[in-house]
Structure 1
Amino acid sequence: MERPNIIVGTHPIEMGHYLMPTKEVLRLMEGIFKIVNNRIPGMIVYGRPRLGKSSAVKFAIDYLPNQLGVSLPLLIVNTKFYKSPTEIKFYSDMLADFKFPFSNKRDPSELRRQIVSFMLEKAEKSTQRRIILVMDEAHRLTEHHYNWLMDIYNDLDKERISLSVISVGQEELLNRRTFFLKEKKAQIIGRFMTHEHRFCGLRSLDDIRFVLKCYDSAEISPYPTDSDWSYSRYFFTEAYDKGTRLEHDAKVLYELFSEVRKEHGVSAEFEIPMEYFAFTVENAMKIYGAHGDRCDWISRNQWKQALKLSGYIESEIYMALANEGADS
């Protein structure tokens, strides 16, 4: 088959606009399926920064219809930080994230009614009378925010609409739940925090091999869509057609990540955020592949250069410094 003619700079690898599953994403998918299928009102998904939590939740929910047999409306809110949060700011930000037509209302009750009506319409169209709300950067949510969410939940419940809230954030989100437990805020825990999922990065050779195999697969990463051209085949066509795969370099990458961590004194548990791993793979394909140096394949040294360009080690150093500051 003739190699696709794709304008340089427009491939998903070059634009960074793609979602790639990991073993952790599949584990998350199972957890979210249980939450939604059993109409459980909420769960928290937490982990260190740059693991790809938000993208993973979106990926998992996009595949829910295949598991449930029906499509469900999904709404995503990016929680904003305010020194003094108010109902008006919270509700207005939600409507903005929903791409709701401009509203000049400044009464909190009216804004909440608009949100509930919008959700009600979405849920009724789904035939299941259910809706999923993802609160991103949820470690910014305060007790006030959760109480306002509870009002929305209760309003929908009166209309017999099931709302599942998935709060996605950094590890402070778990600390927030611990605080609510100490303060006996059972109404918040019971609605939105009964289930938890600690989201992890790539922690083993098998994790790395699994992701690289996805870059090799035309079923998982085809471009153009519905073609037989996986990402690795497009950028290294001759090598791919001869049987070479990114999957075969899993051990090389595992060793390189381990080496650079040791070189820079990173002693934390081995865990590679998906964002930096993806940057490494993208760098290797863009620099040494069909739109770059046109190498036959990626050497060990080239992989190391691609890793260094990803920003991974700088991120690990800053994380270590931040943790030291928090502990002191």
Structure 2
Amino acid sequence: MPDSLPRPVDPSEHPLANQTYIVPTPAIAAMYAHVRQCIRRGVAGALIYGHTRWGKTYAIRYCVRLLRLELPRAAILTIGMPRNPSRSEALFFGMLLKAAQHERPDSGTALQRRLRLYHKLAELVERAAGNRLIVFVDEAQRLELEHYEWLRDVQDELERRGVRMFTFLVGQPGILNRKSSFRQSVDTSQIVSRFMIDELRFEGFRSADDLKMSLGAYDTSTFPDRSEWPYTRFFLQRAFDSGFRLGKQHGVLWEAFDAAHRRARFDFTMEIPTEYLARTVEIALTDNMQHDAADFALSQASWSQAVEESNFVAALEELRIIFVDEAAYGS
């Protein structure tokens, strides 16, 4: 059945089909509020921790985008820690230079790279016409003691140049164990006071109401930008034009997730990771394009099928032991 209006681009080019879009979530809103509070209060370092697939990397991107709009005079740097990171000083500073988009991140000795990094960061701050550098470290649970000491050196050098450095360590819950171990020694306790003063648990969706913000964003975010094609309308044009909105589906979608959780006999409170909510919505929209009609609505069966195909249950099965331990210890 032909569409009432031709779509402006092929569906395969849509950000939803390519998973290159960002929608807000309550956890992202809480993270951004925490970041802004730390900056206002002058708190130089904070931990933001949550399970894998909870959307932390996605949240960093969202926060960076908002910070660039609201704090245009702050320089912002994002560092992604690789698996089994090297303890080589030269390689570590080379990685930081690459994150800062230096044209020669991999050349020179450790000292040369260190000095180039100091200069590059100061240049970024000067270009922003401010005195703040905001750093996000993704997968921060992979940082080793040496890495923290080198980051401390960077912070000290920037302070000598009149620059305030704020570091947000974003990682999995295991980073809390590292914080506890650092507290045990006088030599490492200063790492806690520098980089781990505040903590925030990055949560998944924990109630039907939590879904409203994200689902509603599909009804208002447009592609192409500033066009008359919200994401929901792009895939379900006739239904959208007749009043269908994903934002009103929070109850039926929560029930679909809850039913899957009950069938799996999980003995912990349900929490939906951001990745699996997004995947479920993507499946529901793309798989039902051919059923679009003025009276079309996503049924409970449609949502249940999308939840099943998202691998939500398989993801929680891998985390079952962790969730049970958290419940036992009240974390």
Where structure 1 has 5 or more consecutive residues not aligned to the other structure, the ranges are none
Residue number in structure 2 paired with 1:100? 102
- Report SS of the residue matched to 2:12: coil
Which of 21, 26, 34 is 1:31 aligned to?
34
Residue number in structure 1 paired with 2:77? 75
Q: Distance in 2 between matches of 1:325 and 1:41?
A: 31
Q: Which amino acid aligns with 2:149?
A: N
User: Is residue 198 from structure 1 mapped to residue 201 from structure 2 by the alignment?
Assistant: yes
User: Is residue 126 from structure 1 mapped to residue 128 from structure 2 by the alignment?
Assistant: yes
Q: Which amino acid aligns with 2:282?
A: E
Which of 161, 166, 191 is 1:159 aligned to?
161
Distance 1:191 1:168, change over 3 A: same
- Report SS of the residue matched to 2:31: helix
Deviation at 1:191, TM superposition (A): 1.1
- Report SS of the residue matched to 1:132: strand
Which of 139, 142, 146 is 1:140 aligned to?
142
Further displaced range: 113-122 or 261-270? 261-270
- Pairing 1:12-91 to 2, within 5 Å after superposition: 12-68=15-71, 70-82=72-84, 85-91=87-93
Q: Distance in 2 between matches of 1:81 and 1:262?
A: 35
- Report SS of the residue matched to 1:203: coil
Q: Distance in 1 between matches of 2:322 and 2:191?
A: 30
- Report SS of the residue matched to 2:74: coil
Distance 1:286 1:90, change over 3 A: same
CA deviation string 1:219-241 (max 9, x = no partner): xx111101232111111111111
Asked if the contact 1:261–1:267 (Cα under 8 Å) also holds between the matched residues in 2, the reply is no
The percentage of counterpart residues that share the same residue type is 28
Asked if the contact 2:50–2:201 (Cα under 8 Å) also holds between the matched residues in 1, the reply is yes
Residue number in structure 2 paired with 1:312? 312
Which of 170, 173, 196 is 1:171 aligned to?
173
TM-score by length of structure 2 reads 0.90
User: Is residue 228 from structure 1 mapped to residue 231 from structure 2 by the alignment?
Assistant: no
CA deviation string 1:257-301 (max 9, x = no partner): 111111112222211000000000001111112xx5546332221
Q: Distance in 2 between matches of 1:25 and 1:322?
A: 22
Residue number in structure 2 paired with 1:254? 254
Alpha carbon RMSD of aligned pairs, Å? 2.2
Further displaced range: 87-96 or 263-272? 87-96
Further displaced range: 271-280 or 84-93? 84-93
Residue number in structure 2 paired with 1:285? 285
Q: Distance in 1 between matches of 2:27 and 2:274?
A: 10
Distance 1:209 1:325, change over 3 A: closer
Deviation at 1:311, TM superposition (A): 1.4
Residue number in structure 2 paired with 1:214? 217
CA deviation string 1:37-69 (max 9, x = no partner): 33322111101111111221221232124444x
Asked if the contact 2:136–2:170 (Cα under 8 Å) also holds between the matched residues in 1, the reply is yes
Deviation at 1:114, TM superposition (A): 1.4
Q: Distance in 2 between matches of 1:262 and 1:6?
A: 40
Asked if the contact 2:132–2:163 (Cα under 8 Å) also holds between the matched residues in 1, the reply is yes
Residue number in structure 1 paired with 2:190? 187
Residue number in structure 2 paired with 1:5? 8
Distance 1:203 1:187, change over 3 A: same
Asked if the contact 1:92–1:111 (Cα under 8 Å) also holds between the matched residues in 2, the reply is yes
Q: Which amino acid aligns with 1:25?
A: I
Residue number in structure 2 paired with 1:263? 263
TM-score by length of structure 1 reads 0.91
Q: Which amino acid aligns with 1:316?
A: L
Q: Distance in 2 between matches of 1:145 and 1:288?
A: 48
Asked if the contact 2:118–2:158 (Cα under 8 Å) also holds between the matched residues in 1, the reply is yes
Asked if the contact 1:129–1:162 (Cα under 8 Å) also holds between the matched residues in 2, the reply is yes
Q: Which amino acid aligns with 1:179?
A: S
Q: Distance in 1 between matches of 2:246 and 2:191?
A: 46
Q: Distance in 1 between matches of 2:314 and 2:104?
A: 42
Q: Distance in 2 between matches of 1:47 and 1:325?
A: 15
- Report SS of the residue matched to 1:63: helix
User: Is residue 240 from structure 1 mapped to residue 243 from structure 2 by the alignment?
Assistant: no
Query: Number of paired residues?
Result: 321
